[in-house]
A and B are shown apart, each in its own frame.
Chain A
Amino acid sequence: MNGNLPEPAVRLRGVQHRNNRHFALQDIALEIPVGGTAAIIGPDGVGKSTLLSLIAGTRRIQQGDVHVLGGDMRRRRHRNAIAERIAYMPQGLGKNLYPTLTVAENIDFFAGLFGVHGAAAKARRDRLLVATGLDPFPDRPAGKLSGGMKQKLGLCCALIHDPDLLILDEPTTGVDPLSRRQFWHLIDEIRAERPGLTLITATAYMEEAARFAHLIAIDAGRLLAAGPTPQVLEEAGAATLEEAFVTLRHRAGLSKAAPVADEVALPPRPHHDGPPAIEAEELTCRFGDFVAVDRVSFRIETGEIFGFLGSNGCGKTTTMKMLTGLLPASSGSASLLGQPVAAQDRQSRLNIGYMSQSFSLYEELSVRANLDLHARLYQVPRIELAARIADSIKRFDLEAIAGRLPRDLSLGQRQRLQLAAACLHKPRILILDEPTSGVDPEARDAFWHQIGHLARNEGVTIFVSTHFMNEAARCDRISFMHRGRTLAVGEPPALAAQYGDGDLETAFVKLIEADEGVAVRAAVPAPTMVTEAAAHPSMAALRRILVFAKREALELRRDTVRLAFALLAPLFLMVCFGFGMSFDVEDLRYAVLDRDRSLESRSLMEGFGGSPYFTETLPIADFNDLDQRLRSGDVQVAIEVPPDFGRDLMQGRRPQIGVFLDGSFPFRGETARGYVQGIALKQAMERARQTIGKFPDPAPYELVPRFRYNQDFKSVVAMVPGVMMLLLVLIPAMLTALGVVREKELGTIANLYASPAGIGEYLIGKQLPYIGVGCIAFLLMTLLAIPVFGIYPKGSLLALAVAVPLYQIATTGFGLLISAFCSSQVAAIFAAAILSIIPAVNFSGLMYPTATLEGAAKWIGLGFPASWYQTVSLGVFTKGLGFAAFTKEYLALAAFGIAFLVLARLCVSKQER
Chain B
Amino acid sequence: MSNASALRWLHNVYRLGVKEMVSLARDPVLLGLMIFSFTFSIYSVAHGVRTEVKNAAIAVVDGDGSQLSRRIIEALQPPYFLKPQLIDRSEVDAGLDRGQFTFALDMPPGMEADLSAGREPKIGLAVDATAMTQAGVGTNYVTSIVDREIMAFLGQSGTASLVPAEVVIRTYFNPNLDSSWFMSVMQVVENVTILSIILVGAAVIRERERGTIEHLLVMPVSASEIAVAKIWANGLIILIAVALSLHYVVQWLLGVPIAGSVPLFLGTAAIYLFATTAMGVLLATVANSMPQFAMMAIPCFVLMNLLSGATTPLESMPEFFQVVMKALPSTHFVAASQAVLYRGAGADIIWPQMLLMGAQGSLFLALALRRFKAMLARQT
Contact = CB atoms under 8 A, between A and B. Distances in A.
Contacts of A842: 45, 48-49
Interface in B145-181: 146-147, 150, 154, 159-160, 162-175, 177-179, 181
A280 B267 CA distance: 52
B45 to A, nearest CB: 5
Interface string A700-734: 11111111111101010111000000000011001
Nearest to A717: B130
A108 B51 CA distance: 55
Interface stretch (A113-121, A207-215, A269-277, A848-856): A848-856
Could you say which of B126, B136, B159 has the most chain A C-beta atoms within 10 Å of its C-beta?
A: B136
Contacts of A851: 57, 82, 99-102
A358 B289 CA distance: 18
Interface string A84-128: 000000000000000000000000000000000000000000000
Task: Please name the 9 residue pairs, one residue from A and one from B, whose CB atoms are nearest each other, closest first.
Answer: A857-B48, A663-B174, A360-B211, A664-B342, A710-B129, A851-B57, A565-B295, A684-B163, A707-B129
Given A321-B380, A734-B294, A656 B338 contact: no
Contacts of A659: 167-170
Interface stretch (B27-35, B244-252, B361-369): B27-35
Contact of B297 (A582, A827, A829): A829
Contact of A671 (B131, B136, B325): B136
A528 interface: no
A826 B293 CA distance: 11
B130 A874 contact: yes
B44 interface: yes
Interface string A853-891: 111111010000000000100110011010001000000
Contacts of A909: none
B162 A826 contact: no
Contacts of A847: 51, 132-133, 311-312
B311 to A, nearest CB: 7
B160 A354 contact: no
Interface in A583-630: 583-589, 604, 630
A857 B54 CA distance: 15
Contact of B33 (A359, A632, A827): A827
B301 interface: yes
Given A700-B154, A842-B45, 19 more contacts: A328-B377, A346-B222, A356-B214, A579-B318, A633-B335, A633-B345, A654-B166, A660-B171, A677-B160, A688-B162, A696-B162, A700-B120, A700-B150, A734-B298, A822-B29, A827-B33, A842-B49, A871-B98, A875-B97
A631 B344 contact: yes
A667 interface: yes
Given A630-B343, A700-B118, A824-B29, A576 B143 contact: no
Interface string B86-121: 000000000011111110000000010011001011
Given A587-B315, A826-B199, A857 B290 contact: no
A350 interface: yes
A703 B122 CA distance: 6
A826 B215 contact: no
Given A361-B212, A667-B52, A834-B33, A577 B307 contact: yes
Given A580-B318, A849-B134, A854-B47, A373 B15 contact: yes
Contacts of A365: 19, 22-23
Interface residues of B, number: 154
A673 B169 contact: yes
Nearest to B137: A670
B270 interface: no
A806 interface: no
Nearest to B221: A377
B243 interface: no
Interface residues of A, number: 155
Contacts of A583: 132-133, 136, 312, 316
B355 interface: no
27 contacts: A321-B380, A349-B218, A376-B11, A377-B16, A569-B299, A586-B315, A630-B173, A649-B164, A662-B173, A663-B177, A666-B179, A667-B179, A670-B51, A670-B177, A687-B164, A700-B120, A703-B124, A707-B129, A713-B129, A717-B129, A829-B198, A834-B41, A834-B194, A847-B132, A848-B50, A878-B130, A879-B130
Nearest to A738: B291
Interface string A424-447: 000000000000000000000000
A53 B228 CA distance: 42
A680 B167 contact: yes
Contact of B165 (A576, A654, A676, A705): A654
B349 interface: yes
A860 B12 contact: no
Contacts of B290: 738, 742, 825, 829
A848 B343 contact: no
B347 to A, nearest CB: 12
Given A579-B321, A822-B29, A711 B129 contact: yes
Contacts of A130: none
A14 interface: no
Contact of B182 (A561, A657, A666, A843): A666
Interface string B1-29: 00001001001100110010011001111
Interface in A316-375: 318, 321, 324-328, 346-347, 349-350, 352, 354, 356, 358-365, 369, 373-374
A797 interface: no
A328 to B, nearest CB: 7
Nearest to A369: B22
A837 B182 contact: no
B163 A680 contact: yes
Nearest to A630: B172
B322 to A, nearest CB: 9
A686 to B, nearest CB: 10
Interface string A562-573: 100110010011
A709 B130 CA distance: 7
A365 B26 CA distance: 9
Contact of B218 (A324, A561, A581, A652): A324
A652 B164 contact: yes
Contacts of B216: 377
Interface in A211-267: none
B312 to A, nearest CB: 5
A848 B299 contact: no
Contact of B52 (A561, A576, A670): A670
A354 B38 CA distance: 42
A561 B292 contact: yes
Contacts of B102: 849, 851-852
B48 A633 contact: no
Nearest to A324: B218
A856 B44 contact: yes
Contacts of A677: 140, 160, 167, 169
B44 A855 contact: yes
Contact of A709 (B15, B128, B177, B296): B128
A830 interface: yes
A378 interface: yes
Contact of B170 (A562, A660, A681, A707): A660
Contact of A702 (B29, B121, B166, B376): B121
Given A369-B22, A373-B19, A706 B125 contact: yes
Contacts of A826: 27, 30, 198-199, 202-203, 206
B137 to A, nearest CB: 5
Nearest to A726: B302
A566 B298 CA distance: 10
A587 B290 CA distance: 43
B305 interface: yes
A436 to B, nearest CB: 18
B356 to A, nearest CB: 15
